[in-house]
Amino acid sequence: MFVVPVITAAVLALALYIYILADDKRWLVVAIISHILLFLRVTKGAGETPALGPAEIVFSLIFFPGLLLWFVRRFQTREKFVEGWEDIVTIVFILYAFLGIGIAVYQGFSLQKGFREFLLFVPLLFIFPVRKEAAKKNGRQLIIWALLLLSACVAAYIIARYRVDLLVAKYLWQVAANRQQKEESLYMTAIIILFAFLVGTRYSKGIILPLLALELFALAITFSRGYWITTALGIVSLVFLLKGVARRRLIVFSGVAISLAVIVALAIFPGLFGSVIAGLGERLSSISINTLSLRDRLVESQAVVGKVEANPVIGYGLGSLFSFFDIIHSRTLETWYIHNAYLFLLFKFGLAGFLLFLTMYLKRVSTLFKLWRKTQSTADNALVSAMLLIPLMMLFISVTSPQFDDRGSLLILAIVWGLGEAMWKYRTD
């Protein structure tokens, strides 16, 4: 009885799958948006690796075969896709990271964990198809809006989930305890890009402002002080990077966007808005160099530094663990998660991998800076300014947040770098 519908659904799903993979641009947009399958998974805590589930399987079937097919097509047509030494460094780093799995296994760590950690770095290869497709007609707009759509969907979901959590909260401490600490770099990126869009004339303010209000509130309820400060720093820096009348527009629209975010919050959280504001205020007031969480991270960092000093050149490989005494929970904790992204690179890859990664990173930031200096039109200058700020802000927040081993952050960097390099290559001076 149910055989025919099942077979029909399977055939349609297979046809859709082939249709997506058949076209590079189509696959690229779907691959970006399909990250929602990963970003909406609920985990119990920061740094936890979720169990393999249907969402991750579907995402993997879209992302990895599509990426592999993209490179196979380039080889079949003998089309050049390596365009500079930074591309070579990127490929060498990916290969070095893969070899790191073997290093960790040799030391007795998990092969499965090492492979899953390695998959976090594969989005760096996204630079190549993004750069290629961004050079085509409407390619840049499709890629940017796919990223913004992804962020908006995740933001809407976490706001809805937070509202449900607050409806059953009885005490003020539960307002912060139910923080939606997930994909903060995605909201930060969307906010900086949307602020840049506000000063241009290409897109309707009636679309940009509500999206910006949504992202601002989503970032607020993460209760992530580091991202609050970094996003604010990014917006302030955007004022200095913009040229001409764009600066005045940004200042004016900033007030409008924040006001609209408050209105949205009042509409979504009637009767609860005061508690949310009180929770945010309490979180801000707790910023101090003497907080227990900061001291715990210092203990964590000292433990990692000790491991790095013992093996400074090649590191311990992907999948490796370290232990430290967690002063918050008063117990020794064995983990792979390191809050400081720079220490993460040194621990996993040693100085060799650390220098490879930063060389690639800084060279691509340098390309964005050169593009910014050459860009004159208001709309393009605003977008390029945002694309330059995003990796710079990630360098800043990486002191307290592991951006360099975060799939969302690496996806964002690959998209920003690919877009910027396409604009640099095909710019008109």
| Closest to 148 in 3D by CA, of 35, 56, 47 | 35
Residue-level pLDDT at 44: 41
CA 273-278-280 angle, to 5 degrees, is: 95
- CA 337 to chain CA centroid, Å, is 17
Residue-level pLDDT at 294: 64
**CA–CA separation, 420 and 372 (whole Å):** 9
Tokens (6 digits) for 388: 């330059």
**CA–CA separation, 311 and 320 (whole Å):** 13
CA distances to 67, 103, 376 from 401, in Å = 28, 25, 34
pLDDT per position as a tens digit, 148-192: 999 999 998 888 888 777 765 554 445 555 556 678 888 999 999
Cβ-count burial 172-188 (b if 16+ within 10 Å, e if not):
eeebbebbbebbbbbbb
**DSSP label at 51?**
P
CB 378 within 8 A of CB 246: yes
pTM, 2 dp: 0.88
- CA 14 to chain CA centroid, Å, is 30
Residue-level pLDDT at 340: 84
pLDDT per position as a tens digit, 295-348: 667 777 777 878 888 888 888 888 887 776 666 656 666 777 788 889 889 989
Residue with tokens 């003020």: 172
**CA–CA separation, 184 and 182 (whole Å):** 6
Which residue stretches of the chain have pLDDT < 50? Answer: 43-47, 171-173, 428-429
Query: Strand locations in 95-211, DSSP E?
Result: none
Phi/psi at 331 (nearest 5 deg)? Answer: -155, 155
Domain boundaries, the chain: 3-425
The number of CA neighbours under 13 Å toward the Cβ of 38 is: 23
